[in-house]
Amino acid sequence: MRILHLDSGREMRGGQWQVLRLHKGLVEAGVESLLLARAESPLAAATRAASLPCADLTPLRLARLSPSYHLVHAHDARAHALASICSVSPFVVSRRVAFAIRQGALSRWKYRRATRYLAVSRFVAAELERGGIPAGKIDIVYDGVPVPDQPATGNRLLTPYSTDPGKCMHLAQQAAAHAGVPLELSRDLEQDLPSASGLIYLSLAEGLGSGILLAMAHGVTVIASNTGGIPELLEDGVTGFLTANTATAVAEAIHKASTRNSDRRFGAAARLRVMERFTVPHMVAATRQSYRRALEHA
């Protein structure tokens, strides 16, 4: 099987980390896998640093290379558009976002072109169906994260730094102040989670939340918005805490986490949940199965 990946992201966000982990997992499994990404993007740099095949993403290169690959895999909206226009081979699309599909003529044409969709959660799959995609063309492929050998041991309470109002960073700060606890803004969860005990992850709309999974893998107790695909990861009061997006509700969740988790049992349960369902090998295996279905119906 030969797979050509497309990612047009300018930043290294959750989706780009998933592309990198998938690409690496496929190569290690003996699949011929090539990533086309923006020339100066962090994803391209990380891919080359990992000694994985990578080239610049351009419409001409996609049109030239796609006939020699069994499948093209578009990982974001712009890549989806490029595949619709330039790919000669059949293509699949990863859908990570929680918002509804636009219903204009161009959007409907683009969404009809894909052979298959890989939805990051049941919530996203339902949005695809509401947008007119047949259920038979959708697979649910959850994110996968690496599980560190040892759980986190620190006491820091973190929230991701973001300038996106939809990520509710300022709400997390207000709630922490209301609860009377110090909160640190993390620009690099991979680096900061090993010394954390809690993560506040708030969002107005979320397809899944790979940052939540990463915290769970570290055995960190997560307080997250009860929205989108997040409840598919977190079981309230068992592997973490779900909350409404108000300062009072989040502050109450902070108090619950601090008073009920003296032995880190929620973090331990969350870490076990990741090991059972959300590792990188789980994600790679589910993606390969979706590829096989796509090729059967191409």
Give pLDDT tens digits for 224-266.
999 999 999 999 999 999 999 999 999 999 999 987 776 688 9
Pair (124, 226) in one structural domain? no
Q: One-letter amino acid identity for 281? A: P
Give pLDDT tens digits for 143-195.
999 999 999 999 999 999 999 999 999 999 999 999 999 999 999 999 999 99
In a domain, 148, yes or no: no
Q: What is the mean pLDDT of residues 46-75?
A: 97
Is 3 strand, coil or helix? strand
Confidence of residue 43 (pLDDT cuts 50, 70, 90): very high
Q: How far is CA 148 from the centre of its chain?
A: 18
DSSP-derived letter for residue 35 is E
Our count of domains for the chain comes to: 2
Pair (176, 238) in one structural domain? yes
pLDDT at 258: 86
Separation CA 283–CA 145 (nearest Å): 9
Q: Which domain holds residue 285?
A: 2-143+280-297
Residues 6+ apart with CB under 8 A from 118: 92, 93, 94, 95, 139, 140, 141, 287, 290
Pair (284, 271) in one structural domain? no
Pair (228, 132) in one structural domain? no
Pair (19, 49) in one structural domain? yes
Alpha-carbon distance values, 75 to 26, 82, 123, 130, 175 (Å): 15, 11, 18, 21, 34
Q: One-letter amino acid identity for 291? A: Y
Pair (20, 136) in one structural domain? yes
The token duo for 276 is 């059972």
Confidence of residue 126 (pLDDT cuts 50, 70, 90): very high
Is 156 strand, coil or helix? strand
Alpha-carbon distance values, 13 to 17, 18, 76, 187, 190 (Å): 6, 9, 12, 11, 12
In a domain, 254, yes or no: yes
The token duo for 144 is 């996968």
pLDDT at 262: 66
In a domain, 151, yes or no: no
In a domain, 149, yes or no: no
Pair (120, 18) in one structural domain? yes
**CATH for 77:** 3.40.50.2000
Pair (162, 253) in one structural domain? yes
In a domain, 89, yes or no: yes
Strand partners, 139: 118
Strand partners, 221: 198
Q: One-letter amino acid identity for 13? A: R
Pair (138, 9) in one structural domain? yes
In a domain, 213, yes or no: yes
Pair (32, 97) in one structural domain? yes
In a domain, 87, yes or no: yes
Q: Give yes or no for residue 130 having a pLDDT over 80.
A: yes
Tokens 């108000």 correspond to 246
The answer to whether the beta carbons of residues 201 and 223 sit under 8 Å apart is: yes
Q: What is the mean pLDDT of the chain?
A: 95
In a domain, 288, yes or no: yes
Determine what percent of the chain is predicted with pLDDT higher than 90: 91
Pair (24, 46) in one structural domain? yes
The answer to whether the beta carbons of residues 160 and 186 sit under 8 Å apart is: yes
pLDDT at 171: 97
Pair (161, 264) in one structural domain? yes
